[in-house]
Every structure is written in C-alpha cells, then in structure tokens.
C-alpha cells in the first residue's frame, strides 16, 4: 500500500474562481461559482459531477483556455490567471493536458514522432535530429513499441492513441497533468491499462494529476482525493478512498446511482429525481435544493452553505452538517 | 420461444465479423451482450432488426421470431415488424432524432406510421408515454428540438419511443453509455419498469458490466465476433470460467475494491 503524506506542499492553489459566460439577452451562465481547491504535489485529485456541473470549465480555466471572470489560480507564487504573452507561453510548460477523445486530439497528417515532439519544438528544446530518439524514449515510457514513430495516428487503436496523448503531454516534463475524461471513451480493459500507466508514471515522477471523471468507482480506485461539483459549486471534498463515507446528500445520491457488479441485491440502486437545473440564473441558496430529499428549513433556500470540515481532508457544504471538528476543538 | 437466433455468421463485404452466434430469448427476459469495441456485439442486434450497414450481410444462420425466419422477410414485412414488434434504442438518441424537426412532430409521425390514428390522438398518446417515463413537462419536450434537450433527456425520449408500442423485443445498443450515473440509473429503471409491466424481452448491448449484471437474466460475453462465454448473470459475475471474462471483470473499477492511500496530514 502506498502512503501519501499531504503537507503544505501544493502545486496549484485555486482561489475563489468564478467563470461566467454571457448567453445573450442579458442572461449569464455561471459555470464555476467560487471554486477553491488545492492540488498537492504528487497527488491525483479527481473532479467528479454530472455533465454541466462545470468540471471541464474549471480544467480549461487552469489550462488558461478560458479566462476566469474573477478569482486566482496560483502556480507557485505566480497567479497564472494574470499572465500574458511570453510569460503565459512559458507557464504552459508546467501544466499539460490529456483530452477526452483520442480520435480527434491529433493532426491526422502528422507522424507519431512529430506529434510527441511538437511541444519540444515549440519551446526550441530539441533539434530535429534528436526527435526520433526522444519520441522512442517517450513511447517506452507509455509502453508502446518504438517502431511506430513513423506511423500516423489513424492506424492505431483508441487505447494506443490515448497513450500517445499522454506521451505528448508528458514530454515537457510538466508538474501538473490535467486529464479531462481521459479514459471515458475507452473500453474498461483498456481504461484499466491507461490508469495503471498514469499511476506508475506518477510514482516515478511525482506528477500531480487532476483527473476529471464521472465514474465514481474509477475515482475511488485511482485517486487520492475527490472534489464533487454540482452546478458550478464544489459541494464536497474528501479522500477518494472514503467516498462511501460521503456526507453531502448529492454525493450520497451519486453513490446510490452506481450499479455494483457483485453486490446485486444488497445494494438498491436509487435514482435521483429530476435533472440538473439550468446554470443560467442560478437559484439563491443551496444549488442542490430542488433535487435534495433532505432539503428542509435549514436556510437551504436562502443561503449557500460554506464548506465545513467533516474529518481529515474532508469538507462538505450542506446546512444539515455541522462543523464537527471545530466545535469539538472549541468545547 | 419468442426469438431464436441460430448459427449466425455475418460479414462486412468479404470480411467475416460475427461467427456462429446463437441465442434464445423468451418473453419478459433480458439478455445482455458484453464485450469490447469491435467484438461484434452491435452487429448481432443490428442483424436482428435487419438494419446492418450497407456492406453487412448475414452469410449463414437463421433468426426466427415468432416462428418466422426474419431473414426471408420482404421490405414490406420488415417495415411492419421493425419499430413495432421489434424496436431499438440507440446509443445516442440525440443523433437518431431529426435535428430540424420538433420531438412532437417526430413522435406523432412515428406513431402514425404504424397505427391509424389522428394526429391529435397520437399527440395525446405520446404525452401519456412521456409521463409514464416520469419525464418532467412532457408538453415542453414535445415542443422542443433535440438540440434543446440534454443528452439524458434525448436518450429518455429515445427509450419512450422504443417502448411506445409495448414491443415484443426491445434491442438496446449501449443505451446508457453516454449518460451520467444518475441519468443512467433513471433510464435503466424506466426500461426495467416498463418491461416488467408489458412483458417485453430485452437484448441490451453494453460494456458496462454493472448494468449488465443488474438487468440481465443471461449474459453473453463476446470477443472478436465469437461467443467466449455465456451463463446466468450470477454465474458470469461470480463464477466466470474463461480467462477473458475474468480479465474483463477485473478491469471494472468498483467502490469498496482495493485498499487505498491513507491521509495523515490535516
């Protein structure tokens, strides 16, 4: 069993990030609403939630593919949301991304070696004569045969292409890897191999991974911590291995929706009624109020509960929960 | 026996894709076909509905539905059977629906293709079906274009259309793969509920073994066009015989599986 000690050593510090998109007629879509998260060095942090909860938007803000509306994202002591021009370009070396669909993530007319080495060319870190050797080194890292350097992405399988996506993202030796649903398009057996690969690379290089995913079971097995998002808000952050002890009604509802493989009969699958509400004109109060079976007169309709400490590395934002740890500390 | 497929071989052009597939289905039963992409699982159910892509054709075997070999059907006979006695729910119902027509118009047209009712009656019946599927605001849905609805909502409309005539057999091709867990649970429950009520038999193609184990009476595992293993869902999940099935099961992440990292800092 590996044991990760989490200290103050974090690589990314996301503070109060808000991202709004204008959708015409004076309406505003709030994709991320005051998101604060830290990414520790060498950990894998999962961001889970339903489609439309803002998890990909948050990733794109971290990648600076979107500009935040307000808030800041610190990489070291640099606020990357304020970077411009050459400084921004240089920062990109440290944060890289693996995309969801490996079939559309590459230029089909580029050879594998050029795909893998393109980030190095961009930063003038490699001579064309060295490209083939470097590409082979990266292919070894992602456990692909070296002799595919001169092939094109079209004649590879989805799993192989996703490995090339990982090789390309890692060639600059980044500190942070953002995986946006990187395994969702793959078969389970291929998914397992890709996840094992990511974890073994993480062990070797102390890489920090942000893993955006909607498969709770996968998150449970591969990640250190999980942040659950709902309608642009982080509603719960907890150690992924303790997902079953989740406190927030939304996280509990998500867990009840999973079809277990072997516990047929012992675990009743319950459905969450209704749909995720429109992020245009957010309701005041708790974002989950309309679907929550426990929503009562606790101020759920008036104010959004802050994240309250529930245990080690465990925070949940719900009016039903008390700030247990602090109260015991005071009494 | 409602449906009996025997020794089915299917080729795309010159390439044999599916080899020697047989299955038997009774009313009210659920069969799940699982396997990786390219295993031929979708090809099998497409053959049952007679909608193989252009190049595809059955080279050997029989598909007997209600005592009649479907492979000998004329185009007119297919038109009567498919969409009424045998229906299909596709992976992405959003792209199955016509993007430039409102859901209501398509639903009414679909109903009137098969039965002789007025537009108004068809509309009311469609609304009733959407209500039965627990879809909120059915009138709004009928008045929407597919792109105005979420993927989950489109998928549920697809299921509602597939279930409308209480078909004898519902073929479902990865009906929940594109959905979130919460929506997946809703769609699965709705399919199971209506099948219990109407005695519809289901063949579901999926790579989600959790869903297969939950829904199916029998699971068929396919690889490279061959059936690797078959058995009750309990046998396959808890007591798989073939190495490939074990591999597939091991790859499924589960909550409560392996031990995990421990956090020590506060």
> In this complex, do A259 and B185 lie within 8 Å of one another by their Cβ atoms?
yes
pLDDT, one tens digit per residue, over A148-176 is 999 999 888 888 899 999 999 999 999 99
Residue A283 sits in which domain range? 10-94+174-330
- Is any Cβ of chain A less than 8 angstroms from the Cβ of B245? no
Q: How far is B266 from chain A (nearest CA, A)?
A: 5
CB-nearest partner of B237 from A218, A254, A261: A261
How much is the pLDDT for A168? 94
How much is the pLDDT for B167? 92
Q: Which residues of chain B have pLDDT under 50?
A: 258-266
- As a whole number, mean pLDDT of residues A33-48 equals 93
pLDDT value at A327 more than 80: no
Confidence band of A109 (pLDDT split at 50, 70, 90)? very high
Q: How far is B237 from chain A (nearest CA, A)?
A: 7
DSSP letter for A142, please: T
- As a whole number, mean pLDDT of residues A231-259 equals 91
Q: How far is B248 from chain A (nearest CA, A)?
A: 6
Average pLDDT score, chain A: 86
Output the domain CATH number for residue A48.
3.40.50.300
> In this complex, do B209 and A254 lie within 8 Å of one another by their Cβ atoms?
no
A206 in any annotated domain: yes
Confidence band of A122 (pLDDT split at 50, 70, 90)? very high
Confidence band of A123 (pLDDT split at 50, 70, 90)? very high
Closest residue on chain A to B254 (Cα): A217
- As a whole number, mean pLDDT of residues A22-43 equals 89
- Joined together, the tokens standing for residue B34 give 């699982």
Sequence spans of domains, chain B: 27-51+75-250
Q: Which residues pair with A15 in a beta bridge?
A: A72
- Is any Cβ of chain A less than 8 angstroms from the Cβ of B211? yes
A155 in any annotated domain: no
In CATH terms, the superfamily for domain B27-51+75-250 is P-loop containing nucleotide triphosphate hydrolases (3.40.50.300)
Confidence band of A300 (pLDDT split at 50, 70, 90)? confident
Number of domains in chain A: 1
- Joined together, the tokens standing for residue A200 give 């073994």
- Is any Cβ of chain A less than 8 angstroms from the Cβ of B243? no
How much is the pLDDT for A331? 36
- Is any Cβ of chain B less than 8 angstroms from the Cβ of A270? yes
A178-192, A245-259, B21-35: range with highest mean pLDDT: B21-35
Q: Which chain A residues are Cβ-neighbours of B221 within 8 angstroms?
A: none
A124 in any annotated domain: no
Chain A to chain B Cβ contacts (< 8 Å): 149
What proportion of chain A, given as a percentage, has pLDDT over 70? 92
Instruction: Note which residues in 175-194 of chain A have CB less than 8 A from chain B.
Output: 187-192
A135 in any annotated domain: no
pLDDT value at A3 more than 70: no
pLDDT, one tens digit per residue, over B86-113 is 999 988 888 889 999 999 999 999 999 9
Q: CB neighbours of A76 closer than 8 A, spacing ≥ 6?
A: A11
pLDDT value at A209 more than 60: yes
Q: Note the maximum CA span of chain B.
A: 71
């Amino acid at each position: 069993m590996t044991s990760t000690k989490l200290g103050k050593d974090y690589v990314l510090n996301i503070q109060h990030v808000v991202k709004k998109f204008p959708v015409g007629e004076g309406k505003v879509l709030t994709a991320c609403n005051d998101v604060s998260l830290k990414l520790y060095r060498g950990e894998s942090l999962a961001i889970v939630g339903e489609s439309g909860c803002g998890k990909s938007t948050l990733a794109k803000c971290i990648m600076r593919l979107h500009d935040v509306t307000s808030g800041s994202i610190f990489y070291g002591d640099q606020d990357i949301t304020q970077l411009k021009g050459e400084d921004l370009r240089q920062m990109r070396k440290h944060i890289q991304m693996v995309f969801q669909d490996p079939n559309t993530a590459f230029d089909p007319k580029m050879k594998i070696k050029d795909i893998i080495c393109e980030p190095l060319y961009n930063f003038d870190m490699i001579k064309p004569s060295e490209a083939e050797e470097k590409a082979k080194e990266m292919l070894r890292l992602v456990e692909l045969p070296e002799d595919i350097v001169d092939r094109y992405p079209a004649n590879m399988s989805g799993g192989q292409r996703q490995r090339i996506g990982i090789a390309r993202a890692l060639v600059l030796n980044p500190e942070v890897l953002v995986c946006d649903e990187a395994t969702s398009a793959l078969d389970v057996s291929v998914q397992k191999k890709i996840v094992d690969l990511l974890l073994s690379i993480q062990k070797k290089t102390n890489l920090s991974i942000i893993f955006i995913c909607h498969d709770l079971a996968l998150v449970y097995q591969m990640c250190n911590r999980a942040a659950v998002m709902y309608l642009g808000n982080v509603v719960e952050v907890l150690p992924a291995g303790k997902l079953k002890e989740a406190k927030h009604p939304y996280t509990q509802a998500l867990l009840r929706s999973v079809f277990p493989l072997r516990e047929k009969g012992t675990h009743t699958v319950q459905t969450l009624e209704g749909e995720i509400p429109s992020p245009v004109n957010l309701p005041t109060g708790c974002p989950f109020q309309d679907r929550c079976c426990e929503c009562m007169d606790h101020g759920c309709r008036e104010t959004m509960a802050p994240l309250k400490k529930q245990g080690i590395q465990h925070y949940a934002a719900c009016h039903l929960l008390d700030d247990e740890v602090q109260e015991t500390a005071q009494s | 026996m409602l449906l009996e497929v025997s020794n089915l071989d299917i080729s795309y052009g010159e390439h044999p894709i599916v080899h020697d597939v047989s299955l038997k289905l009774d009313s009210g039963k659920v069969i799940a076909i699982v396997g990786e992409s390219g295993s031929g699982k979708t090809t099998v159910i497409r053959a049952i509905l007679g909608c193989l892509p252009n190049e595809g054709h059955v080279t050997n075997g029989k598909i007997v539905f209600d005592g009649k070999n479907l492979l000998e059907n004329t185009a007119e006979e297919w038109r009567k059977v498919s969409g009424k006695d045998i229906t299909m729910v596709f992976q992405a119902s959003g792209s199955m629906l016509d993007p430039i027509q409102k859901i209501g118009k398509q639903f009414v047209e679909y109903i009137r293709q098969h039965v002789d009712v007025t537009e108004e009656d068809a509309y009311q019946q469609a609304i009733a079906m959407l209500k039965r599927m627990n879809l909120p605001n059915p009138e709004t849905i009928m008045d929407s274009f597919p792109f105005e609805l979420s993927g989950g909502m489109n998928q549920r409309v697809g299921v509602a259309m597939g279930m409308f005539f209480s078909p004898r057999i519902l073929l479902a091709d990865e009906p929940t793969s594109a959905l979130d867990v919460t929506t997946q649970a809703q769609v699965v429950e709705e399919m199971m509920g209506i099948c219990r009520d109407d005695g519809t038999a289901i063949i579901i193609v999926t790579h989600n073994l959790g869903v297969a184990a939950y829904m199916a009476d029998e699971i068929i595992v396919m690889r490279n066009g061959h059936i690797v293993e078959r058995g009750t869902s309990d046998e396959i999940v808890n007591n798989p015989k073939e190495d490939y099935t074990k591999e597939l099961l091991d790859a499924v992440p589960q909550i409560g599986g392996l031990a995990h990292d421990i956090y020590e800092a506060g």
